[in-house]
Amino acid sequence: MRAARRLQHAGQPDLFGEVAGTGEGPVAAIEGLRYDNDFLSRDEEAELLRIVQGLPLKEMRYKEYTARRRGIGFGGSYDFDTHRLKPGAPLPDMLHPLRDKAAAWAGIAPGDLTHALIAEYRPGTPLGWHRDVPDFEDIVGVSLQGDAVMQFRPYVPGASASRPSALEFLVEPRSIYVLRGPARWDWQHAIAPTETLRYSITLRTRRHRTP
Ligand SMILES: O=C(O)CCC(=O)C(=O)O
């Protein structure tokens, strides 16, 4: 409960998504954000950790920066220099059960979750403010082993990069979230530096642009 104590202030959301005394919180406050902290069993988590820890994770690059996160992508890799999604290896069969279960939870056809990113957050690893690249539509995130504080602030083009978080909640191991519609397009999100080792598996649908 360390983070909950650190971040809860009167009238502000605690990290489990509740605003003290109101029964409402960031998950309810952000349209298109849905969260379930009891998505995977402990056995499913252990099996996924075995798979993920056997993958050749590499330090992730964003333009000239090398992030502290290590990861591997399937279904295409986004080139931040050319702003294009380059073809990539499909999701390995061993991750299909997770994809299918996540798709059912999110109400998405499994085959539409064409992109996956497996990311490792060693203790102290942050993920900076961003919206996902426009090639993707829905984002479904599953967490393993450690928890994370997920932060949100409205997306305001041209606004200061140092704006603080407006809402945040604790994303627990074995949980799932989906960012869809307003949660995906009208908000930026970030992950505060993690206190313990955490893995996330984010699955994405392609965005179908209207001509
Ligand atoms: O680790 C997470 O759950 C967030 C991942 C994320 O936002 C991203 O990879 O763009």
Which tokens belong to 181? Answer: 């519609």
Point out the ligand 1 atom lying closest to the alpha carbon of residue 190: 7
Q: Say if strands 136-144 and 148-154 run parallel, antiparallel, or are unpaired.
A: unpaired
CA–CA separation, 36 and 103 (whole Å)? 14
Distance from Cα 202 to the centre of ligand 1, integer Å: 6
Residue that has been written with the tokens 């050319």 in this structure: 82
**Angle at 13 (CA atoms; ends 149, 185), nearest 5 degrees:** 65
Q: Which of 74, 78, 139 to mutate to test the pocket of ligand 1 (most atoms within 8 A of CB)?
A: 139
The domain containing residue 139 runs over which residues? Answer: 32-58+66-206
CA–CA separation, 171 and 37 (whole Å)? 7
From first to last of its 211 residues, the chain has per-residue pLDDT tens of 333 333 433 344 455 555 444 445 778 889 999 999 999 999 999 999 999 999 999 998 766 666 789 999 999 877 777 777 778 899 999 999 999 999 999 999 999 999 999 999 999 999 999 999 999 999 999 999 999 999 999 999 888 888 888 899 999 999 999 999 999 999 999 999 999 999 999 999 999 865 4
| Within a domain: 17 | no
Closest CA to 93 of 109, 70, 110: 110
- What residues line ligand 1, using a CB cutoff of 6 Å? 117, 119, 127, 132, 141, 189, 191, 200, 202
Neighbours of 31 (CB within 10 A): 11
State the pLDDT at residue 8: 38
| Within a domain: 27 | no
Distance from Cα 8 to the centre of ligand 1, integer Å: 23
Question: The CATH number of the domain where 95 resides is what?
Answer: 2.60.120.590
Distance from Cα 12 to the centre of ligand 1, integer Å: 24
Q: Specify whether the CB–CB gap between 48 and 94 falls below 8 A.
A: no
Q: Quick one: 44 exposed, middle or buried, by C-beta within 10 A (0-12, 13-18, 19+)?
A: middle
| Within a domain: 6 | no
Number of domains in the chain: 1
pLDDT tens-digit readout, 34-57 = 999 999 999 999 999 999 999 999
Task: Report which protein residue has its CA nearest ligand 1's atom 10.
Answer: 132
State the pLDDT at residue 207: 92
| Within a domain: 12 | no
Point out the ligand 1 atom lying closest to the alpha carbon of residue 177: 3
Closest CA to 52 of 75, 77, 72, 74: 72
Tell me the chain's radius of gyration from C-alpha atoms: 17
pLDDT tens-digit readout, 84-120 = 777 889 999 999 999 999 999 999 999 999 999 999 9
Distance from Cα 150 to the centre of ligand 1, integer Å: 9
Point out the ligand 1 atom lying closest to the alpha carbon of residue 121: 1
